[in-house]
Chain A
């Protein structure tokens, strides 16, 4: 206990970088259903905590504290990790309750931003650009995406330092503004989703009707006249409703669509 007070700043920039890299690599690689990212978080912060707690019993308590349930977007955990380390360095074992409180209260809101930006918005935008390039045989989009990911890696490691130096202040002062930010991101996300309905979902029919001497394609003659991408919109609505139904898991919906495609191919209803 004595030594804690003497070493006011034991954590160096090197320690923070190391922590960031350890977390970036481990992430959810030790994921289990009970404590989710708990083991990974503990693995990442352990070397820094050892420096903070030279006393074995204190170290054990601190590690046990981090082994609890934890789950958020991995990149966001970097900020949180820096912040909790700063708290523990300052207050030692006295901070453990506050550390736990900070982690549990913020993992939700942080996942809200992180998931929207990192797992939804960015892969959807870059994915549709590079995906369209790829189906034409062009790997340029993929290469750009790959390079971006390398840059993001350094960004994530840097977030650990950001969390350490201004984390608690930064996150708590944001407060309700976090939700404003998430909502704004959702606006951009939904605009892109609207575009995806019209461009990525492809349903067309080869059915034609004969009225005496006149033949009319169902697709170009009728459906496209009502609204472009009418069938994709209807299909999206149906699947949206199915996802809302607890009985329909994602796998079942995918299987249903494959069977539907096979049947429609056999009877030449869709092309």
Chain B
């Protein structure tokens, strides 16, 4: 039974990375992988608690433009697995999951460098007209990305539980308490990142509106998203109208338009 659980957890971890790069059904979203981990381990409540903590940390930490970021999904799988298997609870999950999720970034960078060979080989095989082999090359990438999360999970699944129990005996209370505090602080990274790559200066108004509605008026997040949508809708319509007017002026000024940028 335990061995079956171990294998399923490893498969889930390996699939998560492949899925994150392509299908995005399970992806690295902590709550979803956490739910599946809970199903496998037979304790959904503990798994969800750990998953929720990591989910809130991850908000806004998006992997844009192929950048590498802490793998909170891996943190969730390993954290929830160890917490349930060792019966040591949520704090263990966070204490072990977080560093593993951060180390996984290094592997991510490494694999993206190794993957260079796929490009080289595809170019060569294309030139040789060996297309069957050429179209096999991307699958090496699939395998490598599976290893990115698979390998750390194999190590932790088989060595983790005993090691974690030993380590926990030595950990002082301030340390585990510090992790809880860190859990409250870390979401700030995602939030600040969002502020960085969105036009914050231009639309500062809406940032303040969102803050005030939540901090002072305690509007739930879905209601808040609707208010945000209303503002966005209004802006979209008025800007589109302006764009239409501009185009009409242009069309009236000069009759020759340049619509298609490639000729028949």
| Chain A residues with a Cβ under 8 A of chain B | 24-36, 38-40, 42-43, 46, 50, 56, 59-60, 63-64, 67, 71, 74, 87, 95, 98, 101-102, 105, 111, 115-116, 119-120, 123-125, 127-139, 141-143, 145-146, 149-150, 152-153, 168, 172-173, 176-177, 180-181, 183-203, 227-229, 232-233, 235-236, 239-240, 242-244, 250-251, 253-254, 257-258, 260-266, 270-271
Structural contact, A35 and B193, CB atoms closer than 8 A: no
Structural contact, B34 and A87, CB atoms closer than 8 A: no
Structural contact, B210 and A195, CB atoms closer than 8 A: yes
Structural contact, B203 and A128, CB atoms closer than 8 A: no
Q: Which of B118, B195, B233 has the most C-beta atoms of chain A within 10 angstroms of its own C-beta?
A: B195
Q: Tell me what chain B mostly uses at the interface: helix, strand, loop, or mixed.
A: helix
Structural contact, B65 and A111, CB atoms closer than 8 A: yes
- On whether A257 and B182 interact (CB within 8 A), knowing A236-B188, A244-B196, the answer reads yes
A213-B192 Cα distance, complex, nearest whole Å: 41
Which residues of chain B have C-beta atoms less than 8 A from A128's C-beta? 56, 59, 221
Give a binary string over B16-47; 1 marks a CB under 8 Å from any A CB, 0 the rest.
00100111111101111011001000001100
Q: Which of A43, A143, A150 has the most C-beta atoms of chain B within 10 angstroms of its own C-beta?
A: A43
Of A142, A191, A229, the residue contacting B51 (CB under 8 A) is A142
A63-B127 Cα distance, complex, nearest whole Å: 10
Any A CB within 8 A of the CB of B7:
no
Which residue of chain B has the shortest Cβ distance to A99 in the bound complex? Answer: B262
Which residues of chain A have C-beta atoms less than 8 A from B225's C-beta? 125, 188, 191-192
Number of interface residues of B (CB under 8 A): 115
Which residue of chain B has the shortest Cβ distance to A180 in the bound complex? Answer: B239
A264-B64 Cα distance, complex, nearest whole Å: 32
A32-B112 Cα distance, complex, nearest whole Å: 5
Give a binary string over B198-212; 1 marks a CB under 8 Å from any A CB, 0 the rest.
111011101111111
Structural contact, B211 and A195, CB atoms closer than 8 A: yes
Query: Separation in Å of the A173 CB from the closest CB of chain B?
Result: 7
A242-B181 Cα distance, complex, nearest whole Å: 20
Query: Separation in Å of the B97 CB from the closest CB of chain A?
Result: 13
Which residues of chain A have C-beta atoms less than 8 A from B55's C-beta? 127, 130-131, 134
Which residues of chain A have C-beta atoms less than 8 A from B31's C-beta? 127, 130-131, 133-134, 139, 141-142, 145
Query: Separation in Å of the A16 CB from the closest CB of chain B?
Result: 18
Q: Which of B21, B31, B182, B236 has the most C-beta atoms of chain A within 10 angstroms of its own C-beta?
A: B31
Structural contact, A193 and B210, CB atoms closer than 8 A: yes
Query: Separation in Å of the B149 CB from the closest CB of chain A?
Result: 13
Query: Separation in Å of the B136 CB from the closest CB of chain A?
Result: 9
Which residues of chain B have C-beta atoms less than 8 A from A29's C-beta? 18, 21-22, 138, 141-142, 145
Structural contact, B45 and A74, CB atoms closer than 8 A: no
Which residues of chain A have C-beta atoms less than 8 A from B113's C-beta? 32-33
Which residues of chain B have C-beta atoms less than 8 A from A180's C-beta? 236, 239-240, 243
Of A56, A133, A184, A191, the residue contacting B239 (CB under 8 A) is A184
A119-B224 Cα distance, complex, nearest whole Å: 19
Structural contact, A139 and B196, CB atoms closer than 8 A: no
Structural contact, A193 and B178, CB atoms closer than 8 A: no
Structural contact, A196 and B191, CB atoms closer than 8 A: yes
Complex A-B: 17 CB contacts under 8 Å? A24-B22, A26-B138, A33-B66, A39-B141, A60-B127, A129-B221, A134-B30, A149-B25, A184-B233, A187-B231, A190-B198, A194-B213, A196-B194, A200-B187, A239-B192, A258-B182, A262-B174
Which residues of chain A have C-beta atoms less than 8 A from B45's C-beta? 137
Which residues of chain B have C-beta atoms less than 8 A from A173's C-beta? 259
Sort A-B residue pairs by CB-CB distance and give the 9 closest, nearest first: A194-B210, A134-B52, A191-B228, A202-B184, A135-B52, A265-B178, A131-B55, A27-B22, A30-B141
Structural contact, B175 and A150, CB atoms closer than 8 A: no
Which residue of chain B has the shortest Cβ distance to A38 in the bound complex? Answer: B119
